[in-house]
Amino acid sequence: MTLDEALRIEANARDGILDEDLPGTRGVIDQAHRVHQTAYMWGSVRGESAPPRIRWGIAMGVAMVLVTLGGFTLTFLAPH
């Protein structure tokens, strides 16, 4: 499902145009919502890179782990 299709399905569901009592309709709406959320978090095209805030978050997490490991290493290697 493309992002445009997902957005149209979500809009129709929100406006009450879709009959959610029909079998499978709720599943299609849920899938459209997942596609929309994935596009929001990671970009509308799979080839796009992650938003800068996610890249910075990952970089900061890695940096924190490295600093912590460095601190432990220096603590255990220090002369007593």
List, for residues 4-53, the tens digit of each pLDDT value.
899 999 999 999 998 888 899 999 999 999 999 888 887 765 555 667 78
* Cα of 37 vs its chain's centroid, Å: 7
What's phi and psi for 20, nearest 5 deg? -75, -10
Neighbours of 3 (CB within 10 A): 16
Q: Which residues of 48-75 are buried (b: 16+ CB within 10 A; e: fewer)?
A: eeeeeeeeeeeeeeeeeeeeeeeeeeee
Domain containing 59 equals 52-80
What does the pLDDT read at residue 59? 94
What does the pLDDT read at residue 49? 64
30 shares its domain with 59: no
13 shares its domain with 36: yes
Report the domain count for the chain. 2
5 shares its domain with 42: yes
**Coil/strand/helix, residue 5:** helix
